Amino acid sequence: MKFKVDENLPSDAARALRQAGFSADTVQDEGLSGADDTEAAGVARQEQRVLLTLDLDFSNIRAYPPESYAGIIVLRPKSQNKPVVLALLARLIGALRKEKPAGELWIVEPDRIRYRRPYSKL
């Protein structure tokens, strides 16, 4: 599975994904730091990478229909300090060993993961 890690996540997030056996590029790797959300999302879609972010704007399914992407995952930690974010990411990595987010929106919270799946997957 391939990921595009948004600039609002620590660089250690991409490293953790790679250590877990996934491919992970960052928005910074693409020279997209400070780019508009739609541009970053477009690159993730073009490269068929799951977009991983803290940005709640990506949970807007009208603006970013999940079925048009390799997947969109929004992390929603209680605080955005690095240890808390990385702990939530570790929880996500465990879930990724069981399921794939292709065409889905996942909202990852400390106590649950909410899935927005296309009707065809239900």
Confidence label for 121 from pLDDT (cuts 50, 70 and 90): low
Residue 103: per-residue pLDDT: 95
pLDDT tens, 17-43?
999 999 999 988 877 677 777 888 999
**Is the pTM value of this prediction over 0.85?**
yes
Confidence label for 119 from pLDDT (cuts 50, 70 and 90): low
Asked if residues 47 and 2 have their Cβ atoms less than 8 Å apart, the reply is yes
pLDDT tens, 51-104?
999 999 999 999 999 999 999 999 999 988 999 999 999 999 999 999 999 999
**Could you state, in order of their start, the residue ranges of all structural domains in the chain?**
2-121
C-alpha dist (Å) from residue 83 to 14, 25, 91: 14, 20, 13
Asked if residues 64 and 53 have their Cβ atoms less than 8 Å apart, the reply is no
Q: Dihedral angle at the C-alpha atoms of 16, 22, 25, 27, nearest 10 degrees?
A: -70
